[in-house]
Amino acid sequence: MSTPKVESEQHGELNCWRITSDSAELLVAQQGAQVLSYQRLGEPPLLWLSDQALFNRGKSVRAGVPVCWPWFGNLQRNPQSVRKQFHGSEAPAHGLVRGRDWQLLGIDSKDDALQLSFTLPDTQGDLPGWPHQVELTLDIRMDEHLSLDLTSRNLGTAPVTLSQALHSYFAVSDVRSVSVEGVKGRNYIETLADWEQRTQQADLTFNGETDRIYLDTPAELAIVDPAWNRRVRVSTRGSRSAVIWNPWTERAAQLADMADDGWQRMLCIETANVWGDVVELVSGASHTLGLTLSSEPI
């Protein structure tokens, strides 16, 4: 691989880096260490960036892979072991780190791969209402695939319990014509029907708003997209749960940072530790939540 081109860019209020190799292009923001977009050259994008995305300080961009930590979604929907650790007056959705600047440790080219490393070196005292001393790192590797690894290391003396997610927005030709492989036979929580537990009977297809927590998921899921003649493989590490989400028409119309028809071109499969799949870290312990994205012709 030739030496990648690295450019510093300003998108709205956010500092970003655009990295172009001889085979792919990656856009990453310092805020939240958030991957904003990723595309193999000559192919449709793998990760979706909203046409109406807002690049504002303190607010996650609707794009790419936001990091949800130390809880996922609404804090009150998390297990008690996660809820009791937060002592702040206001608990933002999806945790405390999406709207904060991470420290870029380096951008390096090694072994035919480009590697970026970000850190929040010590969360204690830096995140309002969060008393624990945890070191967070996000390592991004771009070679023929794209890999992300989020590592939490407990530097304090008290145990820590986390829920978390790499909240991936995938680009699709039309969500109404794609399917998700790997969930057949799996139990899931149907959040749109009083959080009932149900069982998936076949590959997942989409004909309305979808917001499901899949339990005991396999290490790989896939999006089959016939119009783009591709299968997107989502291979995970350190996770036994996945959240699959699409807002559909009414919900999308309520989102200022998504076009009214934007729901057609995106699908979230979120590599997660949620519900009963939480992470418990004793003093000195660490955990890595990771995913690798690749695509192939159908």
Q: Give the pLDDT confidence of 154-207 residue by residue, as tens digits.
A: 999 999 999 999 999 999 999 999 999 999 999 999 999 999 999 999 999 999
pLDDT value of residue 125: 79
Per-residue H/E/C for the chain: CCCCEEEEEEECCEEEEEEECCCEEEEEECECCEEEEEEECCCCCCECECCCCCCCCCCCCCECECEEECCCCCHHHCCHHHHCCCCCCCCCCCECCCCCECEEEEEEEECCEEEEEEEECCCCCCCCCCCCCEEEEEEEEECCCEEEEEEEEECCCCCEEECEEEEEEEECCCHHHCEEECCCCCEEEECCCCCEEEECCCCECCCCCEEEEEECCCCEEEEEEHHHCEEEEEEEECCCEEEEEECHHHHHHCCCCCCCCHHHHEEEEEEEECCCCCEEECCCCEEEEEEEEEEEEC
pLDDT value of residue 2: 66
pLDDT value of residue 5: 87
pLDDT value of residue 3: 75
For the segment 8-55, what is each residue's pLDDT rounded down to a tens digit? 999 999 999 999 988 899 999 999 999 999 999 999 999 999 999 999
pLDDT value of residue 249: 96
pLDDT value of residue 34: 98
pLDDT value of residue 1: 54
pLDDT value of residue 262: 96
For the segment 281-292, what is each residue's pLDDT rounded down to a tens digit? 999 999 999 999
User: Predicted confidence band at 122 (pLDDT cuts at 50, 70, 90)?
Assistant: confident
pLDDT value of residue 290: 98
Statement: residue 148 has pLDDT above 90: yes
For the segment 56-115, what is each residue's pLDDT rounded down to a tens digit? 999 999 999 999 999 999 999 999 999 999 999 899 999 999 999 999 999 988 777 899
Statement: residue 118 has pLDDT above 70: yes
- Mean pLDDT, rounded, for 225-242: 98
Domain segments of the chain as ranges: 5-297
Does the pTM surpass 0.85? The reply is yes
CATH architecture of 5-297: Distorted Sandwich (2.70)
